[in-house]
Amino acid sequence: MEERMPLIGERLPEMNVQTTRGVKDLPKDYSGKWVVLFSHPADFTPVCTTEFVAFQNRFEEFRALNTELIGLSIDQVFAHIKWEEWIKENLDVEIEFPIIADDGTVGKRLGMVHPGKGNNTVRAVFVIDPKGIIRAILYYPQEMGRNFDEILRMIKALQTVDAEGVATPADWPNNELIGDRVIIPPAQDVDTARQRKEEYECFDWWFCHREL
């Protein structure tokens, strides 16, 4: 039976991986932290290089959100190290996060290898919470670089959802209807539905919102 890729709400499969910062035990070594695990097609490629610079330029912002970054491609660790050196020497950016050296095992297990794209990993992003649960998955084609501000926004939104027991609207915190306010989960019974308009600002009982 072919192993399927994990889904949102499932725990990241346990894996020992070789990285540019030593062997890591996933997700155990990152317990208590959020993780952005992302794949790129290959080292020494232009779009991937712009992405690594973008991640590194936001490294402290992720750290401030208790979030660690982990890259991955089907390349040997030596290639990763040499590529890091090239980025430092030519672009003056020092990569501080680990990169997984994969022989295809990890990429295939996580559904990062598309059958129509040879053995290269696609641009996948897994957002993993402090309990090792996958909370969001993004996929981009090889030809298009990712939006890194959106990945940061996702982390902030998920942390807000967990801390406040709410939902966030489209483009939060810049929603066209309610700005940076958050949405109250819809009522599940008649009495609660009747009380909602008295407790919160609402468009209707099923669409109520509040300030953080």
- Token pair recorded at residue 75: 């390349």
Which DSSP string do the residues of 29-96 spell out, in sequence order?
GGTTSEEEEEE-S-SS-HHHHHHHHHHHHTHHHHHHTTEEEEEEESS-HHHHHHHHHHHHHHH-----
Distance CA 188, CA 211 (A): 22
Q: Respond yes or no: is residue 48 known to be catalytic.
A: yes
* Contact partners, residue 194, CB within 8 Å, separation at least 6: 205
In this structure, are strands 67-73 and 34-39 parallel, antiparallel, or unpaired? parallel
- CA dist 171 and 180 (Å) reads 9
Nearest-angstrom CA–CA distance, 121 and 114: 7
Q: Are 84 and 91 in contact (CB under 8 A)?
A: no
Distance of CA 5 to CAs 83, 120, 124, 199, Å? 28, 16, 12, 42
110 in Cβ contact with 15 (< 8 Å): no
| Catalytic choice (48, 100, 101, 151) | 48
Q: Angle at CA 9, nearest 5°, toward 25 and 154?
A: 85
Q: List residues with catalytic annotation.
A: 48
